[in-house]
Chain A
Amino acid sequence: MSAQKTKLKFDRLFSEFSIKNLHLKNRIVFLPHYTAYAEVTSLPSEEETYYYTERAKGGTGLIITGNYAVSKVGQMHRTFINASDRRCITNFSKTVNNCHKYGAKIIGQLSHAGATKVELPRASLYAPSQVLEKSTGSYTTAIAKDEIGQVVKEFGTAAETLVMSGFDGVEVKVAHDGILRIFVSPYYNKRNDEYGGSFENKMRIIHEVFTEIRSKLTENMVLGVRLSADEFEDDGFNLETGVQVAKYMADNKLVDYISCDAGTWNTFIMQIPPMTIPLGFGEYIAAAIKKVVDIPVIAFGRINDPIQAEQILENGSADLIGMARQLLCDPEWANKSKKGMVDDIRKCIGCEEGCIGQVFLMQPIKCIQNPAAGKEKKLGIGTLKKAEIKKKIVIAGGGVAGLKFAEISAKRGHEVVLFEKEKTLGGQINILKSIPFRNEYSEVVRYLEFILKEFPNVTIKAGVAANSENITSEKPDALLIATGAVSYIPDTVQNSKAVTSWDVLENKVDIGKSILVYDPLSHNEGVGIVEYLFDTYKNINIRYITPQNDICANAKNENKDILLRKLLQEDLEIIPYYGLVSADDKAVSFNKAFTDKMMTIEDSSFDNFIYTGSLKSVDDLYWKFKEDGGVSEVYRLGDAKAPADVEIAIHEAEALARSI
């Protein structure tokens, strides 16, 4: 099917570049982020070394690690590495040496938690003035001048650790979390001493910190800043100030490069834009900064495609292309782009379930599409070995679980036959993607389908439902049942207007003006259907009822913020704490949680009743072969095992396929 395609060349992306004396082999930068891979002692772990080495192996030009705390007080949480501890040097050096070995340069990022400390009980949440920290709902401590002096010294001490570890440079965070950005912010800084008031005064601590660090660096080391250029808060600063800060730092030679960013810990949707935000949205921010400074500028903001990366360089909007999540998702992005293998890239979809979703839980970061992220030692580049015994594997179901299992099995040399009852592969992703801001989920299927086409040992029978006859006639050594799940309406619901959200997404239902949505789970699906309805139909009103405490209460989905920004503009009534008791053609009845209070909604008051979030496994074939025998190894994965997330389907498929 795949036609001969133009081999793309990205001349600008793969041209050499220098930041001061630091020579880079290409323009690709792995942006710094918290990983939570630290050991309990707040020291860098072996996982961390493997994690960064993998991205260096993948061809990345510059790796910026982080976000390292400058002191114990400066840690947001104990899972942050404390760079003032000289014991860090052992593993830092290993990381640095490994990255150098693969031709990447490496810079370490430092920050002081300031008002965004999340460790409980909270030590002092230092801020310029006492205000309410919106992200955590805690009051901050106005920092005293001698404490400012202490913070400045801590930055110097931590920088020394990086110098001793052999880093090529140091970056300081004047961005989302931490103490430095908030000195610029009008919301936090209401001081009237020399650290507040005028722009120069607000910049004083930044000036002092960068001067202190510079005094500790060797001559060839570079010093940079990660700068949030627009806080995206009405009481914060906007791009005008952000550009002013960048210009000040460049004009005063405080830094050798500027790495652009946006948002705060409170507006993290701009900091770590989810799939609701268009790819490469931050280009205008980089361009605005690039215009006023004469030092290198790094672009940011959901860049996942080398075509767009090349375009940003061509537009002159930035000198370097920064990515974090994309390289988490596919560490070999640079090498694949260099070869023009654009379709081979597994693109980050901005789902944020594996990465930032874990950060909020202070759990080690991972990636729903890339099970190797954070487990490079075990699952990384070069770990997948050919199977000793080649088997014939039949897979029933071409959804995410079946496709992922097929990919790994094919790479291990097994012969794979995959049945999918629909003509199109992807299973439930094909339903999910009709929701406007979820359509990037189709990338998960696109990638797997593309990779499978490259393997001659894979036969895909799309449009053919697996059954016991065609499975048996293939004489498989192993059988995987990945037949997914179906949505259903429970027997308690006898209202004839009731439909599932799948019926709606598949366009099988005439939608009226007044819609009742019942969502027992309050997960992604309920909020998705509400979003879909408002996006698709005009002048409708929705009553959303859930026994949980909010809409998308249980979704570890960082799209929630942006969804609410949209949905709350609409005619939406959210009714929490009500569980469905019964529904017939006269009315639907609900019971308020922890009470005997009932709520009845007359059938005549709504046009549609959407019952969402009820799934059950389709697993008949599993039980049939498990009980009747005929195939020696029978497995099940994905929703056929239990309805769950894409992540579970992919990760379990990888693990199982490696074991067969």
Chain B
Amino acid sequence: MKKILVCLKQVPNTRDVKINPENHTLVREGVESVLNPFDDCALEEALKLKKKYGFSVTVMTMGPPQAEKILEYSFRRGADEAFLLTDRHLAGSDTWATATAVVGLAKKGGYDLLFCGQESIDSGTGHIGASIAEMMNIPQVNYAEKVLGLHENRIRIQAKFDKFDAQLEVVTPVVVSFLKKGFEVKLKAIDESVISERIKRVTLADLNLLPEQVGLEGSYTQVVNIDIDERFVGYVTVDSNLSANERILYITTGGITENENKKIIRDLSQESIEEIASLIM
């Protein structure tokens, strides 16, 4: 029986995150924390393999104690085992440090298949699967859509590379990163009273990792500044310091000023066509 590890991340539902135009902060009121939808698809594929071949499905996440919500959800979906990697030293981890921690846990279990989402909706780097595979020195498949089949230690995967559909065959152990797609979520009735107790909580020490290998210190990249992208404020805000006429004209034009640096193409010569193609295709 093969073992699957699915790496999950709890994320704020970014579609609900709004920007307060007044103090330019994120409005979190009413924003729920959800399982990253890409990861949910990875879990779905793992559970399909469980159903078909009887594989075991282990889920793991790294985050604060509240992240156990998504592990409980995974049990309801049909996962067999769940790890919560929680440690204050993990705060500020970049993709390298995160992958380091995940690999620490993954190595303990001897998994054949490591599934994760292609990216997360909050940060969207798409690096985790690639980093895990490289650190473990095993093959990887990115942009996967579904598992087509499995024969001994070879797995066939349907993937989508922008405009192309492809089928790949890889040898396990392998890291597979899945794209997001729609599917019907089926929840199982389970014993809710012990669901939280079933989660196995691990710390860095349990994984023989040192604090300086992870977190902000173990990260190669550091966030040095965070700015709200003001262009996401859905309406036009007018500066009170403008004169009355300027305010009115600003409103009239919707705050739109003519682009003085624009380039105008009037003919469709070969040169223009090449330029347009490089612009839009």
Contact A565 B249 (CB under 8 A): yes
Nearest CB to that of A237 among chain B residues?
B240
Contact B27 A316 (CB under 8 A): yes
A130 located at the interface, meaning its Cβ lies under 8 Å from any Cβ of chain B in the complex: no
9 A-B pairs (CB sep. < 8 Å): A230-B240, A278-B236, A287-B235, A314-B18, A315-B18, A317-B235, A562-B248, A565-B248, A566-B249
In angstroms, Cα B252 to Cα A565, docked, is 10
In angstroms, Cα B27 to Cα A312, docked, is 15
Contact A234 B27 (CB under 8 A): no
Chain A residues, Cβ within 8 Å of B22: 287-288, 291
CB distance from A516 to the nearest CB of B (A): 26
Contact B248 A283 (CB under 8 A): no
Contact B244 A233 (CB under 8 A): yes
B88 located at the interface, meaning its Cβ lies under 8 Å from any Cβ of chain A in the complex: no
Contact A277 B21 (CB under 8 A): no
Contact B235 A315 (CB under 8 A): yes
In angstroms, Cα B5 to Cα A357, docked, is 71
Q: B residues near A, CB below 8 A?
A: 18, 20-22, 27, 29, 234-238, 240, 243-245, 247-249, 251-252, 254
CB distance from B244 to the nearest CB of A (A): 5
CB distance from B112 to the nearest CB of A (A): 43
* Interface flags, A296-336, vs B, CB<8A=1, else 0: 00000000000000011011110000000000000000000
Chain A residues, Cβ within 8 Å of B254: 278, 281
A68 located at the interface, meaning its Cβ lies under 8 Å from any Cβ of chain B in the complex: no
A267 located at the interface, meaning its Cβ lies under 8 Å from any Cβ of chain B in the complex: yes
The interface centre, meaning the residue of B20, B21, B240, B248 with most chain A CB atoms within 10 A of its CB, is B248
In angstroms, Cα B21 to Cα A230, docked, is 18
CB distance from A419 to the nearest CB of B (A): 38
Chain A residues, Cβ within 8 Å of B236: 278, 281, 284
Contact A284 B237 (CB under 8 A): yes
Which residue of A267, A277, A280, A281 is within 8 Å of B244 (Cβ)?
A267
Contact A269 B248 (CB under 8 A): yes
* Interface flags, A221-242, vs B, CB<8A=1, else 0: 0000000001111101011100
Contact B252 A315 (CB under 8 A): no
Contact B21 A284 (CB under 8 A): yes
In angstroms, Cα B243 to Cα A233, docked, is 8
Chain B residues, Cβ within 8 Å of A189: none
CB distance from A62 to the nearest CB of B (A): 23
Which residue of B234, B240, B243 is within 8 Å of A239 (Cβ)?
B240
Contact B248 A270 (CB under 8 A): yes
Which residue of B18, B237, B238 is within 8 Å of A316 (Cβ)?
B18
Which residue of B29, B240, B252 is within 8 Å of A276 (Cβ)?
B252
In angstroms, Cα B113 to Cα A123, docked, is 89
In angstroms, Cα B254 to Cα A233, docked, is 19
Contact A562 B252 (CB under 8 A): yes
Q: A278-B254, A287-B22, A562-B252 are in contact. Are A236 and B235 (CB under 8 A)?
A: no
Nearest CB to that of B243 among chain A residues?
A234
CB distance from A250 to the nearest CB of B (A): 16
Contact B27 A281 (CB under 8 A): no
Nearest CB to that of A263 among chain B residues?
B248
Contact B18 A232 (CB under 8 A): no
Nearest CB to that of A232 among chain B residues?
B244
CB distance from B264 to the nearest CB of A (A): 12
In angstroms, Cα B243 to Cα A267, docked, is 14
In angstroms, Cα B236 to Cα A232, docked, is 16
Which residue of A238, A284, A291, A565 is within 8 Å of B235 (Cβ)?
A284
CB distance from A441 to the nearest CB of B (A): 17
In angstroms, Cα B247 to Cα A270, docked, is 10
Chain B residues, Cβ within 8 Å of A565: 245, 248-249, 252
CB distance from A349 to the nearest CB of B (A): 16
In angstroms, Cα B18 to Cα A40, docked, is 52
CB distance from A446 to the nearest CB of B (A): 21
Nearest CB to that of A231 among chain B residues?
B244
Given contacts A281-B254, A311-B234, A317-B235, 15 further A-B contacts (CB under 8 A): A230-B240, A238-B247, A239-B240, A267-B244, A270-B248, A278-B252, A278-B254, A281-B251, A284-B238, A287-B21, A291-B20, A314-B18, A316-B27, A565-B245, A565-B252
